Amino acid sequence: MRGPLGDFLDKFKKLSENRELARNKVKESIEQTCGVSVPSENILIKDGVATIMGSASLKGAIFMKKDEILLRANAALDRKLTNIR
């Protein structure tokens, strides 16, 4: 039997699952477009902006193909990414 508290906590569980799915879709888009692997732990998505933590050369490669990565990621996601940093 689930109570109101259980229902409330389920909302947070769904949010966590959605965040992980979004990070994985961005990761896959980067791998397909740039041919480099980025750990999903190094991708932070907040307010429609994906922030990639990594070396300067990695960020440079991603920035050069940013538009294509955004197109691929947005096609796979239900929410819209506006930028990659």
pLDDT at res. 8:
72
DSSP letter (8 states) at residue 18: H
* Distance separating alpha carbons of residues 4 and 36, to the nearest angstrom: 44
pLDDT at res. 54:
94
Contacts of 36 (CB under 8 A, 6+ apart): 30, 58, 61
pLDDT in tens, the chain (85 residues): 567 777 776 665 555 557 888 899 999 999 999 999 999 999 999 988 999 999 999 999 999 999 999 999 999 887 789 999 9
pLDDT at res. 49:
94
- What tokens does 59 get? 């960020």
Secondary structure of residue 47 in the 3-state scheme: coil
Domain ranges of the chain: 4-84
DSSP letter (8 states) at residue 69: H
Entry pTM: 0.78
